């Protein structure tokens, strides 16, 4: 088995899966590994919807932007931030429910990310491949209706899980000095480092399996941040009870 550090540094997104199923005992172990992640104030504000109905898988694939691997992966999980379950006990103990504060939303969302990444690391250690699906936020109303999510619960992202049927290259990350700063935020030397990194990313996209667009990292993120991104999310979250007081 690879070392944990080696495993983490070898992560790739997998979008082609074999037809092999994940043994139930292993799946249970992965859920337990995810639950073992850190959770702020012991909230445990995460719920996983395991989607097994083929029709629902098909609909979710379409709602997520026609991402077919949502259907073909051995498992598809939807990770939800859940303030309803802990909120149920406010009434039990005669306390007001204040779960619509921004901080509570942040706590639950961070809990989901930590839980998912722990599950992912455990899965990859067992030879499984994964692909996060943020595309379920393209149509959060429809996804929530399909999964029957109540107030104070929202779908953060999906996760494809299965045995890989491809071996893609590892995508290079930003140089560590660009990301890790000592004592204070500063950008000294970052421009030159990112310029060199852009060249590495262009080469990665041009040479990766299946070809690519050859765009640099800086141009890619500039395009991302210059466009509106899911402007429906604010209203959706408010409708789901996340009012951001």
Which DSSP category does 173 fall into? P
In b/e form, how buried is each residue of 94-108, taking b as 16+ CB within 10 angstroms?
eeebebbeeebbebb
- CA proximity to 99, closest of 112, 81, 87: 87
Q: Is residue 11 classed exposed, middle or buried when 0-12, 13-18 and 19+ CB atoms within 10 A define those classes? A: middle
The pLDDT assigned to 226 comes to: 93
Length, in residues, of the chain:
245
- CA proximity to 40, closest of 114, 118, 121: 114
Question: How far is CA 158 from its chain centroid?
Answer: 6
* Residues of the chain predicted below pLDDT 50: 1
Considering the entire predicted model, what is its pTM? 0.94
The pLDDT assigned to 225 comes to: 92
The pLDDT assigned to 52 comes to: 98
Domain definitions of the chain by residue range: 4-168, 171-208+210-228
Helix %, strand %, coil % of the chain (to 5): 50, 15, 40
The pLDDT assigned to 212 comes to: 63
- CA proximity to 57, closest of 37, 41, 73: 73
Instruction: State residue 76 phi and psi, 5-degree precision.
Output: -130, 120
The pLDDT assigned to 245 comes to: 86
> Cβ distance 149 to 85 under 8 Å?
no
Q: Hey, how many other C-beta atoms are within 10 angstroms of the C-beta on 111?
A: 23
Question: How far is CA 102 from its chain centroid?
Answer: 20
Tokens standing for residue 29: 């172990």
Arithmetic mean of pLDDT over the chain: 94
Q: Return the CATH architecture of domain 4-168.
A: 3-Layer(aba) Sandwich (3.40)
Bridge partners for 129 per DSSP? 162
The tens digit of pLDDT for each residue in 76-99 reads 999 999 999 999 999 999 999 988
The pLDDT assigned to 100 comes to: 83
Which DSSP category does 138 fall into? G
The pLDDT assigned to 214 comes to: 79
């Amino acid at each position: 088995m690879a070392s944990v550090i080696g495993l983490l540094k070898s992560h790739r997104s997998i979008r082609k899966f074999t037809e092999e199923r994940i043994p139930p005992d292993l799946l249970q172990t992965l859920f337990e590994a995810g639950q073992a992640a850190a959770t702020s104030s012991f909230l445990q504000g995460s719920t996983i919807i395991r989607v097994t109905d083929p029709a629902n898988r098909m609909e979710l694939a379409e709602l997520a932007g026609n991402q077919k691997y949502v259907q073909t992966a051995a498992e598809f999980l939807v990770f939800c931030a859940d303030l309803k379950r802990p909120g149920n006990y406010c009434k039990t103990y005669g306390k007001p429910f204040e779960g619509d504060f921004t901080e509570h939303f942040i706590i639950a969302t961070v809990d989901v990310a930590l839980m998912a990444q722990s599950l992912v690391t455990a899965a990859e250690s067992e030879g499984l491949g994964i692909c996060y699906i943020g595309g379920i936020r393209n149509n959060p109303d429809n996804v929530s209706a399909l999964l029957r999510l109540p107030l104070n619960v929202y779908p953060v992202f999906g996760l494809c899980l299965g045995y890989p049927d491809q071996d893609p290259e590892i995508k290079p990350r930003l140089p560590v000095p660009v990301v890790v700063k000592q004592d204070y935020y500063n950008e000294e030397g970052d421009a030159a480092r990112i310029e060199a990194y852009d060249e590495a990313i262009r080469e990665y996209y041009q040479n990766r399996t299946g070809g690519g667009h050859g765009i640099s990292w800086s141009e890619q993120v500039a395009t991302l941040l210059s466009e509106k991104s899911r402007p429906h999310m604010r209203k959706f979250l408010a409708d789901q009870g996340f009012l951001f007081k």
